[in-house]
Amino acid sequence: TLDLPKTTDDILTRDVHLVQSWADLNSLKQNGATTAIVEAEGSYVTDSQGNRLIDGIGGLWCVNVGHKRAEIIDAITEQLNTLDFYSTFYSFTHPSAAALATKLAELAPGNLNKVHFGNSGSVANETAVRVLHHYYKRLGQPSKRKILSRHGAYHGSTHLAVAMTTPHYSDGWHKAEGIVHHMRKPHYWREGDGMSEAEFTDALLADMKADIESIGAENIACFIGEPIMGAGGVIVPPAGYHKRAAELCAEYEIKVVSDEVVTAFGRLGYFFASKDVFDFQPDIITTAKGLTSGYQPLSATIMSDEIHEVISGPGGVFLHGMTYSGHPAAAAAGLANIALMEREQIPQTVRSTGKHFEATLKGLDDLDIVGEVRGSHFMIGIEFVKDKETKEIFDPALNIGLRVARKAQERGLIARPLGHILILSPTLILTPEQIDTIGAILRESILDVM
């Protein structure tokens, strides 16, 4: 048995040695962590004070099937009892990695039939780029290395992944290296500038074409995009944007990488969103989070047969992979998670419960400080504004998102503040009653800070 701290004080004493992620470390040093989560079950977590809270962010957009599902825990245990670890380096393989790769090939759209595993969304995206650099080198086009991304994107925290993320976070590194070009954020409500939505799509596509022409398609490996931007504020692009962007890329022989770290595994009502929701066929899908519903760290870079055919041609070695690529326990968790989703028809259910969630939260837009509630199904962002007409935002020092989140937590709901935006990405197993409760808590919490 592990010697784990039990009381809040014990946890906080040991927490001084933990460096949190994406955190105000100075505030943590002064004040300590605010919440210690000690248990979880279904759509609820319990903190060290004994408060039972609705997990409105699904861990971190990832606990799709809910917490403490025995099927997944048993599958992990069974796997560890049979084979705790072996790698997929060189010519080694093992049953769970092989079976999960086969399952993902079956679920992924079109000819996406080959899977490389990693341990995080960041790594899945880095892998996509490494695969494509290798691919173009083998095709005798080594200059095709640059990456088209977008302002507002979030593709991870490792060095290249953060460079592909919106520029603010990468401290200019992408510019120094000259590898990533950020295009406009496809946010109609903020950037539409009096245009109709269709005109806005035209403008985005015209800009993209101009960027490709000026950089030179011979220098561009890929366009990477989230079907719906998540951490950038839950931005749903205008109708037709992804399909037309993919067509434009095909015209210029630029590969399309769909970052489905958040949008896959039922969050939008389908196993993958690119084809089923947005009607475009990527060349690579990257995914993580809901792949195991967070029970084990695992990511996948799912590539087309065509790309794999080139990188597996004669001569040369694919010099890439992590020790834990396709870890047996993680792959077992992925298999059990997908089996559970299929048996309980979770994606299908989300098509109705997710719509109820979306409508409930969109109903908050009558409140004076709610500028836009956007997103789809179980992926929602609420943007607060000081002035509904001008869309002026609150002074960042007011921490409006954090204040609403704190009020919500007092009422029994965890939501995620992101500046002046509040993010909701709950488990996908919420009942209509629980959804109504979330709506009511959010309404009261917003009214509290007005």
Toward ligand PLP, which CB reaches closer, 230 or 269? 230
Task: Check binding of 155 to ligand PLP (CB under 6 A).
Answer: yes
Q: Which two tokens stand for residue 210?
A: 């101009």
Toward ligand PLP, which CB reaches closer, 127 or 445? 127
Starting from the edge strand earliest in sequence, which strands make up the sheet with 220-225, in order? 112-118, 299-304, 284-287, 255-259, 220-225, 146-150, 180-183
> Which segment (98-106, 153-161, 207-215, 409-417) binds ligand PLP by CB under 6 A?
153-161
Task: Check binding of 122 to ligand PLP (CB under 6 A).
Answer: yes
Task: Check binding of 126 to ligand PLP (CB under 6 A).
Answer: no
- CA-to-CA distance for 163 and 120, rounded, in angstroms? 16
Sign of the Cα torsion 222, 228, 233, 239 reads: positive
Among 43, 64, 88, 120, binds ligand PLP (CB under 6 A): 120
How is residue 295 annotated by DSSP?
S
* Smallest separation (angstroms) from ligand PLP to the CB of 275: 17
Task: Check binding of 226 to ligand PLP (CB under 6 A).
Answer: yes
> Which segment (79-87, 256-264, 389-397, 435-443) binds ligand PLP by CB under 6 A?
256-264
Among 163, 231, 300, 380, binds ligand PLP (CB under 6 A): 231
* Helices 328-343, 95-107: inter-axial angle, 10-degree rounding: 40
- CA-to-CA distance for 378 and 317, rounded, in angstroms? 41
* Smallest separation (angstroms) from ligand PLP to the CB of 231: 5
* Smallest separation (angstroms) from ligand PLP to the CB of 262: 5
Task: Check binding of 288 to ligand PLP (CB under 6 A).
Answer: yes
Task: Check binding of 415 to ligand PLP (CB under 6 A).
Answer: no
- CA-to-CA distance for 5 and 263, rounded, in angstroms? 35
Task: Check binding of 11 to ligand PLP (CB under 6 A).
Answer: no
Toward ligand PLP, which CB reaches closer, 166 or 360? 166
- CA-to-CA distance for 403 and 388, rounded, in angstroms? 19
DSSP labels, 13-74: HHHTT---SSS-HHHHHHH--S--EEEEEBTEEEETT--EEEETTHHHHT-TT-B--HHHHH
Task: Check binding of 258 to ligand PLP (CB under 6 A).
Answer: no
Toward ligand PLP, which CB reaches closer, 225 or 439? 225
Give the residue nearest to ligand PLP (CB).
121
- Dihedral angle of Cα 226, 68, 338, 428, to the nearest 10 degrees: -50
Ramachandran region of residue 391, left (φ > 0), alpha (ψ -120 to 50) or beta? left
Toward ligand PLP, which CB reaches closer, 100 or 164? 164
**Contact set with ligand PLP (CB under 6 A):** 120-122, 125, 154-157, 226, 230-231, 259, 261-262, 288
